[in-house]
Amino acid sequence: MTTTPPAAGPRPDTLGPGAGGAVPADLPAHLPAGPSAAGGPGPVRARQPLRLTLALVVLGAWLVAAAAWHLTQGTADVTVGELWRALTGQGGLDQAAAVVTASRLPRLAAGVLVGCALGASGAALQGVARNPLAAPDTLGVNAGAYLAVTAAAVVGGTLGALPGVVVAFAGGLAAAGLVIGLSGGAAASPVRLVLAGSAITLGLVSITQALLVLFPWETQGLFAWGAGSLGQNGMGTVRSVAPVVVVALAGLVLAGRRLDLLQLGDDTARSLGVDVVRSRAVVVVLGVLLATCAVTVTGPIGFVGLCAPLLVRLLATWVRPLTRHRVLVPAAAVAGTALVLTADVALRAVFGPVSGVTVPTGVVTSLIGAVALILLARRARAALEPDTLVTLRAGSALARRAPAVLLGAAVVLLAGVVVAGVLLGDSTVLLGDVQHWLAGRASVRLDIILDSRVPRVAAALLAGACLALAGGLVQTVTRNPLADPGVLGVAHAAGLGAVLVIVLVPAPSFAAVFTGALAGAVLAGLLVFGATAGTEAAAGRMVLVGLGTGAGAGALTTLLLVRTDPWNQNRAITWLGGSTFGAGTPQLVPMVVALLIGVLVVARTHRDLDLVQVDDVTPRVLGVDLPRSRTAHVALAVLLTAAATAAIGPISFVGLVAPHAARMLIGKRHRWLLPMTVLLGAALVAVADVVGRTAIAPAQLPAGLVTAVVGTPYFLWLLWRMRAARR
């Protein structure tokens, strides 16, 4: 993780000292410092120990209250006094002792362990990355650990507590290394780090979903576990993992002084005797170990590692000693524990003591984290200017001489993909058979095959075209080369709306599903652009709000799935993978209409888009109404995404991969870029559909999972290319 040493002062891409900026609010104690570093004038400095004590008392009181309330929740009517007498071994309370020992105490112990681990892990990762948005979620640690555990279950491995920690640690560390390395390490802006982590997480989660779909018996129960559940079968797992958490937490506390010095920049830390590379590696390993211990015990509980340190850093604006990591890490551990227990208490208070136990606690923490991410976006100063589209190389020599030739070649390629899609599948047909089918002279067997296969090919083509065009428009108006409808939360919200209809409406029509998807996408679009309208650095804020919206929509989708019956759950999970199965005329019509509207709009505005991709000043000088143009094109992207999502489910990375491939082939002029984007997007999803239908026939793999498997390596390459260009 070699990084470029930043300056010792605050960078313009941080959230400021109150939210955990690049430089701590006060310097290490042994360094010479002025009044601001020492905590202000004498009276203010004198009040700091009192404020620290008060802050720790508040955190401790929150934790005790949440734990006491947590123990009293359940189907048995047991008071706090009875529970206390049971815990202290006083006689005559067999029922209370049984309740505490068999059910509530293991759940409480799991919450304490996981909250401590995630809170401390988030504080350490934020410190080592000098980034207020670093956390086990945004660095892909949870997703990598979840994938590793799922893969172990697929191959038939029966993992105990400590072997599970080892497997999860390997997956989590690999994912974190990818995200930190490819985003630029400590030199990465908050938005860039979250973009990298979110995209890699999306790819890892897609692979995990593919394993869940392909191996339902081997991975039974892992879907709900993957959302983070405190339910335990006794104290065995907690007892086994607790010593590892204690040792790792102690290691982070001991490394606190080095973390303080790392905040000053690599050069300054080296001059003060810190081995920067070794210190950073040790802290990352300990942070990842804590997060993967939590995954092993309860599954990935989202955003605790982001929100708990955030709460402590907000307190640090009033209590300056909390900026020191030897205090910050334990305080974040306490806040994380209180947050997890409060989320679990709220869950069971809303759904009742019986149903609340079946709903993963991670759903509530993910919703809290989504709100926190949206609020953080209001303070972000990252404008993504170093990563604008105009800095990326685009176009080939042939594109400069004869772009129409390249478009013609793309049309021929797409025609070949269409032919392959019609001919290939679990049963191969010939061109002559297709001719007989078109003429109405085919056998019953061919009629059955082609009557279902041809609409699937058409659905894949149209969905790919819609998503690619949406991605191209979003990348242009945000000037963010890593953006697509999935990054802005539109696809997740459309999926939530569709799943809501699938789960709640008996035998829903496609019109109902499409309406739900469109409503979800529109609401997400209004939230994303309403929260960022009229602000500076709108592109960076837009991405953060979109990621928060997507996280919240994903949490609500998980809540719906775990609350429904197994039949609807399996159906919805398959649909969420992006499947063309069952596609017909009702699914095709909305995509055709949306695509036609898109073609008519961009035919009139492609010259404006050429200017919008440059900066905010150029289009205004040349007469382009930038807010109106941005709103119109994003609204079009929302419509395209909703139509494609309702038809075949969420498809990942098409809106990212297709515009970039088109840009590299044919250049940045939207007159040629957008048609090439549409053709390549259609070809990508059609190829993914063919692979999904043939690779493991007669079983099938959803097209969306195939595009995720293809898109994740491409995204990694793109990040690496952009990082090299910046250097």
What's the burial of 5, exposed, middle or buried (CB within 10 Å: 0-12/13-18/19+)?
A: middle
Average pLDDT over residues 721-725: 60
Amino acid identity, residue 688?
Answer: A
pLDDT computed for residue 9 by the predictor: 39
484 and 337 in a single domain? The answer is no
What is the distance, to the nearest Å, from the Cα of residue 347 to the centroid of all Cα atoms in its chain?
A: 22
Degrees, nearest 5: CA angle 429-431-436 = 90
523 and 396 in a single domain? The answer is yes
Question: What is the spatial distance between Cα 21 and Cα 190, in angstroms, rounded to a whole number?
Answer: 10
388 vs 448, more confident:
448
Cβ-Cβ contacts under 8 Å for 279 (sequence gap 6 or more): 255, 258, 259, 262, 269
Question: What is the spatial distance between Cα 301 and Cα 298, in angstroms, rounded to a whole number?
Answer: 7
Cβ-Cβ contacts under 8 Å for 245 (sequence gap 6 or more): 113, 116, 117, 290, 293
Collapsing DSSP to helix, strand or coil, 616 comes out as coil
Judged against a pLDDT cut of 60, whether residue 363 lies above it is answered with yes
Summarised one tens digit per residue, pLDDT across range 224-236 is 677 777 877 778 8
Q: What is the pTM of this model?
A: 0.76
Ramachandran assignment for 395, one of left (phi > 0), alpha (psi -120 to 50 degrees), beta (any other):
left
591 and 443 in a single domain? The answer is yes
Angle between helices 325-358 and 538-563 in degrees, nearest 10:
40
**What percentage of the chain exceeds 90 in pLDDT?**
16
437 and 326 in a single domain? The answer is no
How far CA 546 is from CA of 98, 198, 489, 492, 557, in Å, comes to: 46, 11, 5, 10, 16
Query: Domain for residue 155, yes or no?
Result: yes
What is the distance, to the nearest Å, from the Cα of residue 164 to the centroid of all Cα atoms in its chain?
A: 23
Q: Are 119 and 253 in contact (CB under 8 A)?
A: no
Judged against a pLDDT cut of 70, whether residue 324 lies above it is answered with yes
Residue carrying structure tokens 């960022």: 532
375 and 391 in a single domain? The answer is no
Within 10 A of 671 (CB to CB), how many other CB atoms are there? 15
Average pLDDT over residues 408-436: 88
Q: Are 204 and 179 in contact (CB under 8 A)?
A: no
59 and 123 in a single domain? The answer is yes
Average pLDDT over residues 406-417: 91
Lowest mean pLDDT among 404-413, 514-523, 611-620, 684-693: 611-620
pLDDT computed for residue 74 by the predictor: 64
Closest CA relative to residue 666, chosen from 405, 286, 417, 352? 405
Residue carrying structure tokens 């000088």: 621
What's the chain's average pLDDT? 79
Judged against a pLDDT cut of 60, whether residue 13 lies above it is answered with no
Structure tokens at 393: 């190389």
481 vs 185, more confident:
481
Summarised one tens digit per residue, pLDDT across range 567-598 is 666 677 767 777 788 788 888 999 999 999 99
- Does 698 sit behind a cis peptide bond, omega within 30 degrees of 0 on the bond before it? yes
Query: Domain for residue 1, yes or no?
Result: no
What is the number of domains present in the chain?
2
Ramachandran assignment for 393, one of left (phi > 0), alpha (psi -120 to 50 degrees), beta (any other):
beta
Ramachandran assignment for 32, one of left (phi > 0), alpha (psi -120 to 50 degrees), beta (any other):
beta
pLDDT computed for residue 185 by the predictor: 61
Query: Domain for residue 6, yes or no?
Result: no
Q: Are 648 and 587 in contact (CB under 8 A)?
A: yes
End-of-domain residue from the set 322, 347, 382: 382
Closest CA relative to residue 658, chosen from 691, 687, 636? 687
Lowest mean pLDDT among 90-99, 517-526, 701-710: 90-99
Question: What is the spatial distance between Cα 282 and Cα 252, in angstroms, rounded to a whole number?
Answer: 9
168 and 98 in a single domain? The answer is yes
Q: Are 165 and 293 in contact (CB under 8 A)?
A: yes
User: Which DSSP string do the residues of 246-315 spell out, in sequence order?
Assistant: HHHHHHHHHTHHHHHHHTT-HHHHHHTT--HHHHHHHHHHHHHHHHHHHHHHH---TTHHHHHHHHHHHH
Judged against a pLDDT cut of 60, whether residue 339 lies above it is answered with yes
Question: What is the spatial distance between Cα 102 and Cα 97, in angstroms, rounded to a whole number?
Answer: 8
Question: What is the spatial distance between Cα 631 and Cα 15, in angstroms, rounded to a whole number?
Answer: 27
Instruction: Go through the chain and tell me how many residues it has.
Output: 727
Question: What is the spatial distance between Cα 698 and Cα 438, in angstroms, rounded to a whole number?
Answer: 25
**What percentage of the chain exceeds 70 in pLDDT?**
80
DSSP-H helix ranges across 577-625: 585-612, 617-621
| Confidence at 678, pLDDT banded by 50, 70, 90 | very high
Query: Domain for residue 5, yes or no?
Result: no
Q: Are 532 and 541 in contact (CB under 8 A)?
A: yes
Lowest mean pLDDT among 155-164, 586-595, 609-618: 155-164
CATH number, domain at 463? 1.10.3470.10
pLDDT computed for residue 249 by the predictor: 94
Judged against a pLDDT cut of 90, whether residue 601 lies above it is answered with yes
208 and 116 in a single domain? The answer is yes
Query: Domain for residue 187, yes or no?
Result: yes
Domain range for residue 283? Answer: 17-382
Summarised one tens digit per residue, pLDDT across range 225-282 is 777 778 777 788 888 899 999 999 999 999 999 988 888 888 888 888 888 888 888 9
Lowest mean pLDDT among 332-336, 604-608, 711-715: 711-715
Phi and psi angles of residue 487, each rounded to the nearest 5 degrees, phi first: -65, -35
pLDDT computed for residue 84 by the predictor: 65
What is the distance, to the nearest Å, from the Cα of residue 28 to the centroid of all Cα atoms in its chain?
A: 35
Lowest mean pLDDT among 393-397, 490-494, 654-658, 670-674: 393-397
Closest CA relative to residue 292, chosen from 403, 177, 171, 112? 171
User: Which DSSP string do the residues of 157-200 spell out, in sequence order?
Assistant: ----HHHHHHHHHHHHHHHHHHHHHHHTGGGS-HHHHHHHHHHH
Summarised one tens digit per residue, pLDDT across range 615-651 is 778 888 888 888 888 888 888 988 898 889 888 888 8
Q: Are 549 and 621 in contact (CB under 8 A)?
A: no
405 and 347 in a single domain? The answer is no
Query: Domain for residue 2, yes or no?
Result: no
Average pLDDT over residues 439-455: 86
pLDDT computed for residue 3 by the predictor: 38
311 and 392 in a single domain? The answer is no
Query: Domain for residue 3, yes or no?
Result: no
Closest CA relative to residue 395, chosen from 665, 127, 688, 635? 665
Q: Are 680 and 421 in contact (CB under 8 A)?
A: no
Query: Domain for residue 475, yes or no?
Result: yes
| Confidence at 96, pLDDT banded by 50, 70, 90 | low
Question: What is the spatial distance between Cα 31 and Cα 612, in angstroms, rounded to a whole number?
Answer: 48
pLDDT computed for residue 43 by the predictor: 53
544 and 581 in a single domain? The answer is yes
Question: What is the spatial distance between Cα 312 and Cα 224, in angstroms, rounded to a whole number?
Answer: 30
Structure tokens at 548: 């928060």
Q: Are 539 and 375 in contact (CB under 8 A)?
A: no
Q: Are 305 and 119 in contact (CB under 8 A)?
A: yes
Ramachandran assignment for 131, one of left (phi > 0), alpha (psi -120 to 50 degrees), beta (any other):
beta
Q: Are 379 and 532 in contact (CB under 8 A)?
A: no
**Eight-class DSSP state of 424:** -
HEC assignment per residue over 375-396: HHHCCCCCCCHHHCHHHCCCCC
581 and 689 in a single domain? The answer is yes
End-of-domain residue from the set 328, 354, 382: 382
374 vs 414, more confident:
414
Average pLDDT over residues 422-432: 85
Summarised one tens digit per residue, pLDDT across range 463-517 is 999 999 999 998 888 777 767 777 778 888 888 888 888 888 887 888 888 888 8
End-of-domain residue from the set 382, 416, 443: 382
Structure tokens at 205: 């989660």
Closest CA relative to residue 559, chosen from 379, 358, 359? 359
User: Which DSSP string do the residues of 452-477 spell out, in sequence order?
Assistant: HHHHHHHHHHHHHHHHHHHHHHHHHH
pLDDT computed for residue 2 by the predictor: 38
